[in-house]
Amino acid sequence: MANILRALCCLILIATFISCSDEKDGADPSNPSSVTVSGTLPVMYIETEGHRPVVSKDEYLDAYYRLDPMGAEGVDPLGTEEEPLAMEIRGRGHSSWKGPKKPYKIKLGKKTQIMGMPANKHWALLKPSENTVAGLQLGKIMGMAWSPSFRPVEVVLNGDYIGLYFLTETIRIDENRVNIYEQKDGETSPELIKGGWLVEVDNYSDDCQITIPENSQWSLTLRYHSPEELSGAQKRWLTDEFKAINQAIYSSDKTSTEWEEYIDVESMARFFILQEVMDNPDGFHGSFYLHKDIGPGSKWIAGPVWDLVCYNREKTDYTFRMTVHYGFIPHWIGEIIQYDSFCRMVEEVWREVYPARLAEVYSFIDETVLPLEEAWKHDCERWKDDPKQTASLRAERLKTALRRNIEWFDGHLPVSAQALDGE
Q: What's the predicted TM-score (pTM) here? A: 0.91
Q: Is the Cβ–Cβ distance between 291 and 300 less than 8 Å?
A: yes
pLDDT of residue 9: 39
Q: How far apart are CA 271 and CA 304, in angstroms?
A: 9
Q: What is the pLDDT of residues 246-292, one digit of tens each?
A: 999 999 999 999 999 999 999 999 999 999 999 998 889 889 999 99
List of the chain residues with pLDDT < 50: 1-30
Total count of residues recorded for the chain: 423
H or E segment to which residue 400 belongs: helix 391-410
Torsion-angle region of 12 (φ positive above 0: left; ψ -120 to 50: alpha; else: beta): alpha
Residue 423: the pLDDT is 62
User: Which pLDDT does position 404 carry in this prediction?
Assistant: 97
- Within 10 angstroms of residue 411's Cβ, the number of other Cβ atoms is 6
User: Are 65 and 85 a contacting pair, CB within 8 Å?
Assistant: yes
Q: In the 8-state DSSP scheme, what is residue 25?
A: H
pLDDT (0 to 100) of residue 31: 58
**Which residue from 136, 153, 133, 144 is spatially nearest to 398, judged by alpha carbons?**
133
Pick from 369, 415, 375, 417: nearest CA to 394: 369
For residues 124 and 103, the answer to whether their CB atoms sit within 8 Å is: yes
Residue closest to 130 by CA, chosen among 411, 390, 410: 390
Nearby residues of 273 by Cβ (< 8 Å), 6 or more positions away = 142, 346, 349, 350, 353, 409
Bond before 281 cis per omega within 30 degrees: no
Strand order in the sheet with 300-302: 209-213, 219-226, 197-201, 288-292, 300-302
